[in-house]
Amino acid sequence: MTDAGLDQAFDKVRSLLEGDLEHPGLTLYDLRQLVGYPEKGDGPLCYTLPEDPSFHGVTAVRFFYYPRDPEITLIVEIEDKQGKRHLRHFRWNGSGWTAPIGFKGDLLATRESGSSHGLLEIAGDFYVGYPLEEAEGLAEYIRRGEAAGNKYLLCPRDNTRIFYAPSVAAAGLACPRCNNTTLLYKTLSFSNPEDRLDQILREQKALRVALEELMLYLKRKLGP
């Protein structure tokens, strides 16, 4: 279960973004003013929210603005007293904040059930053995180019990447898209943010392979 301080911080952030009876919600213009865009560059730009009674139960609350990212406009980061970072991703749709496909945007503290963590898909990659928020955090660090040293499995058939937690026996994993068990052991080594075009091409290739597998399956089932 989450603590009351974390719940209170999420409630405050939700009221800031969505607004309430007394104050309108945060707009893209407001966010740009907070982070100093465009004066401070093309980003990512960070703004740490000032102290507030609602934030006494957490270490910090930060807004990250990505002016050049076509999918993600804002990342809200709430750092709890244990140093764990809770991330929520949003894009500006012209009138409000919505969660991009594959990312978590609800402004509620995650409650852990204690059960084992299964397979999660985020932005085209798969994560095994991670709680949802840790997987989302790792996905964001990978996107920023700040996850060098993390180990993953690569499927040579469709380029699917599977990031696994230290507690997971990687030898028993198969590609979640094509069930290939002959996977390559890899380690992230890049220091620059992942190129968006490369990511899109990799996801398109994986989708194409999945569609081909589906067509073959349907032909076997339905006949010519």
How far apart (Å, rounded) are the C-alpha atoms in residues 75 and 84? 15
Cβ proximity of 132 and 120 under 8 Å: yes
Q: Residue 113: pLDDT above 70?
A: no
Residue 30 has pLDDT above 90, yes or no: yes
Assess whether pLDDT exceeds 60 at residue 111.
no
* pLDDT of 171 over the 90 cut: no
- Model confidence pTM above 0.75: no
Beta-sheet strands, E only, within the chain: 45-48, 58-65, 74-80, 85-92, 97-98, 119-122, 125-128, 151-154, 161-164, 184-187
Residue 94 has pLDDT above 60, yes or no: yes
pLDDT of 4 over the 50 cut: yes
Which element (helix H / strand E) includes 220? helix 196-222
Q: Do 92 and 73 form a contact (C-beta atoms < 8 A)? A: yes
Q: Assign 114 a pLDDT band (cuts: 50, 70, 90).
A: very low
Give me the sign of the Cα torsion angle 35, 41, 42, 44. negative
Reported as a pLDDT band with limits 50, 70 and 90, residue 198 is: low
Pairing assessment for the beta strands 119-122 and 151-154 based on DSSP bridges: unpaired
